[in-house]
Amino acid sequence: MQTLATILGLVSGFTLMGYHEPPAEIIATSLIIDASLAPLTAVIAARRGWSPALWSVLGFALGVWAFGFVLLMRSYGAGRGEPPLPPTSDAA
């Protein structure tokens, strides 16, 4: 159980924050955080022209690392002179 907690702590980023709790709490917290980041990662990936299904799975499996990657990478086609996707709401 400690090994699983260590792996999930690394994936969720808790190890970098110095998060030291019992293994059961680390596992539960990591799964909750990863489950909440998965749809957010998928939405951002879809707006950038990437597969939302793939990025939803990656968002759940890799947590904060997939979310950070999606935030930092450029939109699909942005390097080829194509305009990025327009905002979809009036608030943007």
| pLDDT tens column, 15-41 | 777 777 888 888 888 888 889 989 999
Parse the chain into domains and list their residue ranges.
2-75
Exposure letters 21-43 (e unless 16+ CB within 10 A, then b): eeeeebbebbeebbeebbeebbe
pTM given for the model: 0.70
- pLDDT interval class at 76 (50, 70, 90): low
